[in-house]
Amino acid sequence: MDTDNQRNGRRRNVEVADVDLQFRTVEVTDDTPTGRQVLAACDLAPHSDYIILQWLPGGDLEEIRLEEQLDRSVSEAPRVIVAKADRTYRFQLDDRSLAWPASQIGGGRVTTAWQGPGWRNYLPQA
């Protein structure tokens, strides 16, 4: 499928991290890239081996299917987490249940990632 944005060569940025939460910028050739286009821009294959989670305002994470478009209305450069995984795991933070593409998440990553109004700093109990 060839969109006007693909034909005229416009490029858009997507901020991509894996479970380490170190974001890097990748360029896509579509204003509304699909999960598959993000994985291709990251040079990751086979696409079916990866999970994509879009980081939404307020800290929620939403799984993006391969043919689903990222929600660009939330940011000019959407933030996604990409991980080689076959499932997501749920964890609780305050009163929210969030998806994560690994069976564990370090407390330091949680406090770094989910600080802000309405979120208390989460530290795992020793």
Domains with residue ranges and CATH for the chain = 4-86 (3.10.20.90)
What is the rounded average pLDDT of the residues 91-118?
Answer: 66
Higher pLDDT, 97 or 44: 44
Of the listed ranges 17-21, 38-42, 78-82, the least confidently predicted one is: 17-21
Distances (CA, A) of 121 to 17, 56, 83, 111, 126: 21, 18, 24, 5, 15
Question: What distance in Å separates the CA atoms of residue 123 and residue 37, rounded to the nearest whole number?
Answer: 35
Structure-model confidence comparison of residues 121 and 108, the more confident one: 108
Output the pLDDT for position 122.
Answer: 37
Q: Is 5 a residue whose pLDDT tops 50? A: no
